[in-house]
Amino acid sequence: MLPTQSVSQSKIIASTTMDLYCFFAGIGLYVCAVWLYENLRTPVLLTLNSVKHFIFRTKLSQRYGKWAVITGASDGIGKGYAHYLAQKGMAVVLVARNEAKLNKVAAEIKAKYGVDTKVVVADFSKGQTVFPHLEKALVPLDVGILVNNVGVTHGSPKYVDEVSQDDLWGLINVNIGAATLLSNILIPSMKRRHRGLIVNVSSMASIAPSSCLATYAASKSYMTSFSIALREELRPFGVEVQTVRPGFVHTNMTDFIVTGMKDKIDKKYLVRVDNFMAYAGCTIGKTDLTCGHWSHGLQTAGLYLLPEFVRLSPVLLMELEKDTQIT
């Protein structure tokens, strides 16, 4: 081989290597840019809108309307939202299936904040039959904020084929039907007033499918997709939509997870409702996507770095198999 040919081939190889390096470096930069956008967008919006709020100091009731409707308001995160919004001066409509608990929460809020309260009893697991009653109770009100929070899961991790069909339909009706139909009922009046806010409480499970909680995680994926699409639908009409994707918050619904924890350190640092609302409440009207609590934001950022097969955590499946072997 002549020296000139050898030099020429070396140049071609070097050029090709550099092209490949630039190509993969470009892909890496693009992926990093997307990851940074997804994870820094919320804190940037929160900071900018917090400054704006500090300057103008508009009350939520002035910005959106007098009443806030909260589903699943008798316990947990729903009760937390009810207290937070009442503290901010909004009248609250408390919706859940347990009338005694609702009346107790309403009395607490009335005594503590002095705002108007209204109790509406509705069992969303019954499906379409509950909505005429809700429409009659809610449409006449100046509803400024709708918090679609109500949700259910199995009492413990189960295989899909071991869950009764009644429980499956109940989960679908509560986790999917409630938010969809209530939005359908209340959006027309919000569009007419050219103001309003819908807060859809989804879950971190929407980006991390969970073995043995398959239907719950799938319902939360629906909620996230529905919420983000609805945000774009309503943007031209001046109606805002916020998607909330919390991780584990210690509520009645997640009690089976807390009970099963053997590590006391994990229990100590599990986010409680009042701690969650201290952060999630501050994001209302300031960002359209949040995990609610800062620690859940870090967890979500970490999940986005992992491939799907890693996010498909086998932990619940392993625990279920262990229980099955013991019993």
Taking CA 286 as the corner, what is the angle to CA 150 and CA 145, rounded to the nearest 5 degrees?
40
List 64, 84, 113, 216, catalytic entry: 216
Distance between CA atoms of residues 35 and 305, nearest Å: 8
Spatial neighbors of 257 by CB under 8 A, at least 6 apart, are 248
- The reply to whether 37 belongs to the active site is no
Segment (H or E) for 318 = helix 315-326
Considering only CA atoms, which of 313, 274, 309, 319 is closest in space to residue 292?
Answer: 274
Tokens of residue 264, six digits: 């006391």
Distance between CA atoms of residues 115 and 131, nearest Å: 26
Q: What is the distance between the terminal CA atoms of the chain, rounded to a whole angstrom?
A: 76
**What DSSP designation does 282 have?**
G
Distances (CA, A) of 320 to 109, 158, 261, 295: 40, 7, 14, 27
What positions carry a catalytic annotation?
216
